[in-house]
Amino acid sequence: MADQSQRSGWGQRLTRGMATIAMGLALVASPAEARKAPESTTVALAELPVEAQRTHRLVLSGGPFPYAKDGTVFHNRERLLPAQPRGHYREYTVRTPGARNRGARRLVCGGSVPIRPDVCYYTEDHYASFRRVLAS
């Protein structure tokens, strides 16, 4: 009899352990979903660093841009921005004072006409997170 209660105790612990592992895997299975910025994560253009505000003005005027990669298609590989057809998003470098290279800051804007974007997103951590820019 004690042998059977031991088995059922093991079974219960095993079942609970498997459930805990399954829940953990569900959380790990979609890291992009965990990092995806909700639409409520916004920032006013005026609150961005002055370099980002300058970059935004350059986007609206069509350049000239300081880096060759500016204005190229952003592929949204991280899938943190809303899904759009290829070519919808374009990326622009936001200068980082003291950086020897392009740095980690970017403005990613989307729309059918690059100088009139429907939406722009700012990242200061090289696409690990984004905040939607409120221009007005």
Residues marked as catalytic: 91, 126
Beta strands 72-73 and 42-44 are unpaired
Tokens of 37: 């910025």
CB neighbours of residue 75 within 10 Å = 11
Helix (H, G, I), strand (E, B), or coil: what is residue 101? coil
Spatial distance between the Cα atoms of 58 and 90, rounded to a whole number of angstroms: 13
Contact at 8 Å (CB) between 119 and 111? yes
